[in-house]
Every structure is written in C-alpha cells, then in structure tokens.
Amino acid sequence: MAGTTSSTGSGQSSSTLLPPIPRATSIIVIGMAGSGKSTFASSLSSYQQRRAAAAEAKSGSHGQPNQDGADSVDDVANPAAPYMVNLDPAVGTLGYEPNVDIRDTVDYSRVMEQYNLGPNGGILTALNLFTTKFDQVLQILEKRAAEVDHIVLDTPGQIEIFTWSASGSIVTDALASAMPTVVAYVIDTPRTTAPATFMSNMLYACSILYKTKLPFVLVFNKIDAQPHDFALEWMQDFEKFQEALAAGNATEPAPSTLAGLGRAASRRRGGEEQGYMNSLMNSMSLVLDEFYQNLRTVGVSSLTGEGMQDFLEAVKLAREEYVQDYRPELERLAKEREEKKEKSKREQLAKLMKDMAVGGKREGGLSMNDSATVKRGHHDDDEDQISDDEPIEESYDGDGQIVEPDSDEERPDYSYPGPDYDRGDGTVWPRPG
C-alpha cells in the first residue's frame, strides 16, 4: 500500500476541503443471506493476521525465508491485521474477534421485545439505533486508519436491511467521505449455477454498484465446492450464456456446471414457459454486458483461504479507482457545499445591512428627528430649522399646549353652545345627530 499512498498524496490539491487520504482502505462486505459474508470476513482476517505475523517473523529473523509460501509479504512493506467491525446485531458467534461490535451497543433481543418487532424489524431498528452513534465509531476508525491497511465491515445477513435502508446509506457515505472505500459483493457460487439465479445476483450487484457509486469487487465464494469458471465464462461470452439457457431450464443448474460433480442434468422444461424465461434472461444479459466489462471479479474459498491474495490485489486496484474517480467527485461536492454556505452568509449579511438602512442612516441621509424638523419648518412658513440639540416642543396646531390629565391649568370648553351659536362665518353650530 505504500506505493499507492505515495501516488495519491501527490495528486491531492493543497486547497482540498477533505481530510488527507489515510493508509487504510475500508471494505464493506455485502451479500445475500447464506452467501458466507461472516465466514469470508473471518477468513480474510485470519489471512492478514498470518501475513502480518510472517512479516514480523521475517524482519526478526533478518531475512530468513518464510516457511509459509501462501503468506508472502513482498507486496506490502509493513502489513497489519485488519480492523474488524461487526454490524450484524443478530449474529450468534463470529469466527473473528471484532474491534467494534454493534452487539456491545444495542441488545437485539431487547429491541425486538421493547418495540414488538419481528427478526428483520429488530435488526433494522438495532442498526438504526447504532447509526445514531456512528459519528463516534467513525472517529475511532479514522484514528485506526493510519495504523492498518484494511478496515472490514461485516454487514447484516439480510442484504436489504443494509443496502436499502437510511442507516446503511449513512454508514456508507460517512466511510466514503473519510477514507477510500470498496464494496465487496459476496456470491454463493454453488447456488448461482442456474442461469436465472446467476442473473438475479448480477442484477442485484449492478443495483448496489449504481446506488453506492463506489469501487466494486465481485467475490465468488465457496469455490472449493463449485469452481467459478462457468460464471466468468458467462460474463465474458454472451453466446456461452445462451448455450446454457438452451441446454436446460433457466431456474435449474446448467448441465455444463454439473459435469464435474457427477450430478444428473436438469430436466428440460419445454413449452411457452421456457421460451419466455430464456427470452427474458437473454435480454437481461445484453443489458448487463457493459456492467461485466468494468467489473472486478475474484474467486475465493472462505474455508481454505484460496484466492485471498487475489482479492487484496483487486482491493488495491479499487483503491486507485477511488482516488482517481471518486475522490475528485467528493471534493467537487464539498466545494459546492462550501460555496452555498458562503453565498447564504453573504445573502444574510446583505439582508441585515438592508434592514439597518431602513431603520435609519447617519451618513448621506436624514434621521427621524431631522425629518420631523423639516416638516415643521415647511408648515411654519420656512422658519429657522430647529437644531438637533434643541428639545422638540410637542404641541397641537390649533389647541395650544398639551394639558396633562393631572394639571390644574384651565382646560378649553368644548361643551355644546346651543343651536343658535354663530361661528362668525355665516354658519351655526350643527345640531347633534
């Protein structure tokens, strides 16, 4: 990872709004229920722990040859054990020791009992409660990102609980903003030998790729039970997939995948149903052809550890893709948010200055007292303007001084003088209505 980190550091802008790219790469392990996500995470952890121990032994023995050929460390200067995060609140036992465990924060059984929920609702609610504190988890991960090569997140067994929930999006986006992040989609290889099941997995992988918009690695698990060569062949050659469809039922394992297992070929279902299914599968495979071309695929065995080095190499390439493609997009979005924030500040400041100007300006205008003085000056036939320092005499034009309620001064008599009172202008006092 040292070479990758150095290359990324030179490409960073000095004016970037994002934190510097750390050493670690976060790996979000996603897959269908039963695909072997937790077993894969456990095998990956064990493999990297052995590799870290081998590197330490090699440095301590001053260059003595490594006895375990599978744990070669030539590509990594100082390999370290991964930092493991468990996000499945309902798991009973794990094959690895998690550094951060959702079960330490949220009690899945109590959540089900308290909120009267079923199993899936309990998992979703527990994950939502944990996500409310994920900012604290992210601070821990950011500190560890300078010490380890990989941070592995083991997601819940039900794939939709993480991929299509708000909490899953929050976790994914927060990680992707803090460090290079890769999605590892784990597939149960023995269960994808049927063309329809294979196509379902590919469609789901495609939807997750476009939803997360993160570097993606397709992991065919359990290759010790079923080699994944058939899947690679179907992805690379459209005609091979058509042949598999034509050879048998789309919902049952293709005969070509059963040859090495000594199993009987699936029954062929004729008629209208098979024709419709084959046509649908052919159309979907054409749609996903471009998706296959830009996809990284590896085959692994969580039981034997086979293919783990290939997976780490794919993660390394995915990290470079993150730095080249995803990181600039994050910086662009961060700059847009900063520009919007600055624009909002300027608009609020301009509004505040406008409100202050309406209240009264001392420079280049008149105060409220000055305006009142000018009005009185015009009313009194251009008499001398009253100074600002002189007190303003409050008076009515026709009635003289204002009489306070408690004053002993004589008040004007406004009583009704009678119907024949002559006002001196030819009119008399009007009668009350």
**Phi, psi at residue 31, to the nearest 5°?**
180, 165
Average pLDDT over residues 369-378: 52
With contact defined as beta carbons under 8 Å apart, do 52 and 312 qualify?
no
With contact defined as beta carbons under 8 Å apart, do 64 and 55 qualify?
no
Q: What's the pTM?
A: 0.71
Between 238 and 363, name the one with better pLDDT.
238
Of the ranges 238-252, 258-272, 309-323, which one carries the lowest mean pLDDT score? 258-272
* pLDDT tens-digit map of 112-123: 999 999 999 999
- In angstroms, rounded to a whole number, what is the distance separating the alpha carbons of residues 367 and 361? 7
Residue 344 has pLDDT above 50, yes or no: yes
With contact defined as beta carbons under 8 Å apart, do 359 and 351 qualify?
no
Q: Which residue has the tokens 């899936």?
A: 120
Residue 387 has pLDDT above 80, yes or no: no
Residue 151 has pLDDT above 60, yes or no: yes
- Segments making up each domain of the chain, as ranges: 20-340
Average pLDDT over residues 311-319: 96
Q: Which residue has the tokens 């005969």?
A: 255
Residue 395 binned pLDDT confidence (cut-offs 50, 70, 90): very low
Cα–Cα distances in angstroms (integers) from residue 146 to residues 20, 78, 151, 206, in the given order: 11, 12, 11, 32
Q: Which residue has the tokens 């951060």?
A: 100
Residue 267 binned pLDDT confidence (cut-offs 50, 70, 90): very low
With contact defined as beta carbons under 8 Å apart, do 101 and 86 qualify?
yes
CATH number of this structure's domain 20-340: 3.40.50.300
What percentage of the chain carries pLDDT values higher than 70?
70
What percentage of the chain carries pLDDT values higher than 90?
46
With contact defined as beta carbons under 8 Å apart, do 57 and 35 qualify?
no
Average pLDDT, the chain: 78
Residues 6 or more apart in contact with residue 25 via CB below 8 angstroms: 1, 149, 150, 151, 179, 180, 181, 182, 315, 316, 318, 319, 322
Residue 6 has pLDDT above 70, yes or no: no
User: Using CA of residue 207, residue 194, residue 291, residue 306, what is the dihedral sign?
Assistant: positive
Between 429 and 142, name the one with better pLDDT.
142
* pLDDT tens-digit map of 195-254: 889 999 999 999 999 899 899 999 999 999 999 999 999 998 888 888 888 776 677 787
What Rg, from alpha-carbon coordinates, does the chain have?
39
